[in-house]
Amino acid sequence: MNNIISIKDLSFSYSGGVNVLEDLSFDIQEKDFIAIIGANGSGKSTLLKLILRELNPSSGEIFISDTNIKNFKEWNTIGYVPQINASNIPNFPITALEIVTLNLYQKMGFFKFSKRSHIEQAKRALMQVNMLDFANTPINKMSGGQQQRIMIAKSLINSPKILIFDEPTTGIDKESKNQLFRILTHLNRVHGITIILVTHELEIMKDNLTRVVEIKDKKVVVR
């Protein structure tokens, strides 16, 4: 099995306080669909931020596809879908299609017009999350579950190898949760995308996971 992410003896504390994570080691394999669970404050979000290099370890190392993340360059192959809340959803009337296409501008340069192929790409991404019908709907007129799916489409447009979610189901109803998990399972099984998510909703999705990882006492317990 190929490790897509390797974490070795990772310790971390916020600005010199006590360690939140301590000598934590574990590997994630290509095509894994992993849930990270643990009590409030156990360090789940901190671990995701360390993997995304938003925080730097106090000691230890993290590798993505055998490259130390200090030297890793292909961040556009890693999709991060943050928890949806009012502060990360634009409150102006940008449509689903526009917001998904935005992620392509990094590639095509900001001042070029969207070409037809880019619009087609964006529509494909919307189709993958069952949101094509909402292409021209402003995102601030959608429900939380619909916004969540638009944000997934936005990250899909760069053909990610890894998708990372922090509590994607907070504040969405049961049917939207089920739909979200169906989409994630499809992306994992059919498109081979490695999925890592922090969740408190293990029960409704455990059958589709390849592994559950618990953070307890600053370390990882693989269940």
Judged by the rule CB under 6 A, the positions of this chain that interact with ligand ATP are 14, 20, 38, 40-46
What is the smallest separation between the CB atom of 56 and ligand ATP, expressed in angstroms?
A: 13
What is the smallest separation between the CB atom of 106 and ligand ATP, expressed in angstroms?
A: 27
What sign does the CA torsion over 103, 108, 112, 118 have?
negative
Taking CB under 5 A as the rule, does residue 128 contact Mg ion? no
Contact partner, 20, from Mg ion, ligand ATP, none, Cβ < 5-8 Å per class: ligand ATP
Check residue 95 and report its DSSP letter: B
Taking CB under 5 A as the rule, does residue 146 contact Mg ion? no
Q: Is 138 or 144 the residue whose CB approaches Mg ion more closely?
A: 144
State the residue number with the nearest CB to Mg ion.
Answer: 45
* Alpha carbon separation from 148 to 77, 110, 174, 201 (Å, rounded): 19, 25, 14, 16
What is the smallest separation between the CB atom of 43 and ligand ATP, expressed in angstroms?
A: 4
Q: Are 149 and 183 in contact (CB under 8 A)?
A: yes
Contact partner, 41, from Mg ion, ligand ATP, none, Cβ < 5-8 Å per class: ligand ATP
* Alpha carbon separation from 79 to 11, 13, 82, 160, 162 (Å, rounded): 24, 25, 10, 6, 6
What is the smallest separation between the CB atom of 215 and Mg ion, expressed in angstroms?
A: 10
Q: Which of 45, 101, 155, 179 touches Mg ion (CB under 5 A)?
A: 45
